[in-house]
Amino acid sequence: MKRIFIIPVLLCLMLLIGCTQTPPANNPPAPNQTPPANATPPANNTPVTPGDNTSITPPPNPPPETPTQNVSLDQLYRFGSVNSYTYQLTSTSGGQTQSMNMTTSISADTLNGVAVWLEQTDVSTQGTTVTTKMWVDKTTYGCLNITTVIIYGTQTIEQAGQCPTSGPNSASTGETAPPLTYMGKESVTVPAGTYVADKYTAGGMTYWSSSSVPIPLKFVYTDGSATMELVSYT
């Protein structure tokens, strides 16, 4: 009888102890604990946008560069890069227009102990050959001295000439001569071909020049008296 009584008592004690135990605290999950598969993220979570909503406007395209205005003749006539050239000369006089080719050879020379360029131009027309030698300053391209040899039949006449007073080799061209003024780009067609050229004006002359050609493609006297167009060069 005692054994039968003790067992229910023990059962009651065990039940009593289980009823009076304090429930365990809600401890946070372990760091590596995997959340339930069907876990729902918190509502109304707005993603954070970095920075503000101010849009950045790119800088405007810079204007194209304008070629320099201070261009001198030695930048158009690069005699160190050419041996000879031929221009077609078209002139108007007394209402009549004439055209002829003029070939000029370039060489380095000295005049009164100073280094200069020597331009020798040969022109043949109507049985007459005219050879002109002109010594020009290497910086300003102004004429320093000029001589002319005329061969007509059996006669040879050699005489001192006068330096031109207009054009690229005018005697007035000096260190104080104004630079050529840039006028913009322009397509120009000459016997040597068609080019997109830089256009310049100075001293009653207009020039068309290309960086790929060591001498002007074309130049004209603004009074309309003559036009020179490049035929060829070496």
Ordered mean pLDDT values, 10 residues apiece, the chain (234 residues): 43 41 50 53 54 54 52 89 96 84 95 95 86 92 93 90 85 64 95 96 91 96 90 97
Read off the pLDDT of residues 103-142 as tens digits, 9 standing for 90 and up.
Answer: 999 999 999 999 999 999 988 878 889 999 999 999 888 8
Instruction: Say if 171 falls within a structural domain.
Output: yes
The predicted structure's pLDDT at residue 46: 53
The predicted structure's pLDDT at residue 202: 87
Instruction: Say if 218 falls within a structural domain.
Output: yes
Strand order in the sheet with 193-202: 155-160, 143-152, 128-137, 114-125, 96-111, 84-93, 226-233, 218-221, 205-209, 193-202, 181-190
Residue ranges making up the domain that contains 89: 73-233
The predicted structure's pLDDT at residue 145: 95
Q: Are strands 193-202 and 114-125 parallel, antiparallel or unpaired?
A: unpaired
Using only C-alpha atoms, the chain has a radius of gyration, in whole angstroms, of 48
The predicted structure's pLDDT at residue 29: 52
Structure tokens of 108? 């380095």
Instruction: Say if 13 falls within a structural domain.
Output: no
Instruction: Say if 107 falls within a structural domain.
Output: yes
- Give the three-state DSSP class for 106: strand
Instruction: Say if 64 falls within a structural domain.
Output: no
The predicted structure's pLDDT at residue 161: 87
Phi first, then psi: give them for residue 187, nearest 5 degrees. Answer: -75, 135
Handedness of CA 132, 137, 142, 145 (dihedral sign): negative
The predicted structure's pLDDT at residue 18: 44
The predicted structure's pLDDT at residue 57: 57
Q: How many domains does the chain have?
A: 1
Yes or no: say if 109 and 135 are a contact pair by the CB < 8 Å rule: yes
Instruction: Say if 104 falls within a structural domain.
Output: yes
Nearest CA among 69, 61, 62 for reference residue 184: 69
CATH, residue 123: 2.50.20
Instruction: Say if 208 falls within a structural domain.
Output: yes
